[in-house]
Amino acid sequence: MQTKAFGSNGPQVSAIGQGTWYLDRGDRKAAVAALRRGLDAGMTHIDTAEMYGDAELVIADAIAGRRDDVFLVSKVLPSNASRRGTITACERSLKRLKTDRLDCYLLHWRGTYPLAETVAAFDELIAAGKIRSWGVSNFDTEDLDELLDIAGEGKIACNQVLYHLRERAIEHAVIPWCAQHGVAVVAYSPFGHNDFPAASSKGGAVLQSIAQAHQATPRQVALSFLARAPSVLTIPKASSAEHATENAAAGDLRLSDREIAALDEAFPRGPKPRSLPML
Ligand code: NAP
């Protein structure tokens, strides 16, 4: 499994991690088994949020006895992101996850509390040993500029943003901004949430032919393409051990420049949208 630095001076983290949105909705035992299989296969970066129902409880079962192997990320809702609310929300997440610290804690998206308040809470949580680092999600470059002014260089570990083959908006400005400031980009919904290109489509055929050349699958090719830049990691969600195994193998797949160019043509980046797309 390829690893990447999680922010400037941050630890090395698996380039392919595990998302958990809706993981609590199906068979809980299968979900725990999927996460464990993912960990065994090197997908040690696990992403969750207080917003994701009981996902934190599912993760608690999956990481029991192996907490030190995991890079655990959770998120505070913007409606809780006041100075005090952030700390209370983090403590609730720690309790549900049955752990004493998060490796990274994110503001889920920008809300109405001043960013300085949330950052002050993050700093307090770091000082208390409850989080190791902090970051944001769904931040466009203007928000990142403002945050950088408040926090200073080297403090923002990551920006988690929407990125899949048919939604490449972050390539215009967010990825370059993050690369320049040592901020890891975590690509969410890498399979388009539930909208992966059909094998019968033109793009699906390109994915298929590249996959065949590597004895891989179209989804593995997609993950490898999305994580091709040095600062980008991705967090597909899988609720079965089979899917987790397939996704993890993408962490060892390297595409050639020609293959990347073919995917770039099959799934064009398109013009820069006025605002950052999010789910
Ligand atoms: P996704 O990872 O793009 O797609 C998940 C879908 O792909 C599920 O239906 C899953 O099915 C299927 N799948 C996964 N691996 C597969 C495989 N190998 N073969 C066939 N199907 C496969 O969607 P997502 O859950 O929206 O995004 C991933 C994670 O990003 C989330 O879980 C969450 O942690 C994070 N996220 C963050 C934000 C944010 O605002 N920060 C927003 C959205 C998502 P099964 O479940 O049946 O395996």
Domains identified in the chain and CATH numbers: 3-266 (3.20.20.100)
Q: Is the CB of 203 under 6 A from ligand 1?
A: no
Tell me how far apart the alpha carbons of residues 25 and 48 are, in angstroms, rounded to a whole number.
14
Which ligand 1 atom is at minimum distance from the Cα of 26?
Answer: 46
Q: Give residues with Cβ within 8 angstroms of 213, minimum separation 6.
A: 259
DSSP class of residue 134 equals: E
- Cα 108 to ligand 1 centre (Å): 17
Question: Residue 239 carries which side chain, given as an amino acid letter?
Answer: S
Q: Give residues with Cβ within 8 angstroms of 7, minimum separation 6.
A: 133, 135, 154, 156, 157, 158, 182, 183, 184
pLDDT per position as a tens digit, 15-43? 999 999 999 999 999 999 999 999 999 99
Q: Give residues with Cβ within 8 angstroms of 1, minimum separation 6.
A: 14, 15, 16, 41, 42, 43, 44, 248, 251, 252
22 is a catalytic site residue: no
Please count the other Cβ atoms lying within 10 Å of the Cβ belonging to residue 221.
25
Arithmetic mean of pLDDT, 185-202: 96
Which has the closest alpha carbon to 113: 137, 90, 80, 145?
80
- Cα 45 to ligand 1 centre (Å): 14
Count the alpha carbons within 13 Å of 180 in the hemisphere toward its beta carbon. 9
- pTM, full prediction: 0.98
pLDDT per position as a tens digit, 236-257? 999 999 999 999 999 999 999 9
Q: Give residues with Cβ within 8 angstroms of 242, minimum separation 6.
A: none
| Residue with CA nearest ligand 1 atom 16 | 243
pLDDT per position as a tens digit, 209-237? 999 999 999 999 999 999 999 999 999 99
pLDDT at 194: 87
Tell me how far apart the alpha carbons of residues 58 and 22 are, in angstroms, rounded to a whole number.
11
| Residue with CA nearest ligand 1 atom 11 | 238
pLDDT per position as a tens digit, 87-143? 999 999 999 999 999 999 999 999 999 999 999 999 999 999 999 999 999 999 999
Question: Phi and psi for 206 in degrees, rounded to 5?
Answer: -65, -45
Which has the closest alpha carbon to 21: 108, 84, 89?
108
| Residue with CA nearest ligand 1 atom 29 | 19
Question: Phi and psi for 3 in degrees, rounded to 5?
Answer: -120, 160
| Residue with CA nearest ligand 1 atom 36 | 188
Q: Is the CB of 239 under 6 A from ligand 1?
A: yes
Pocket test for ligand 1, best of 237, 242, 279 (most atoms within 8 A of CB): 237
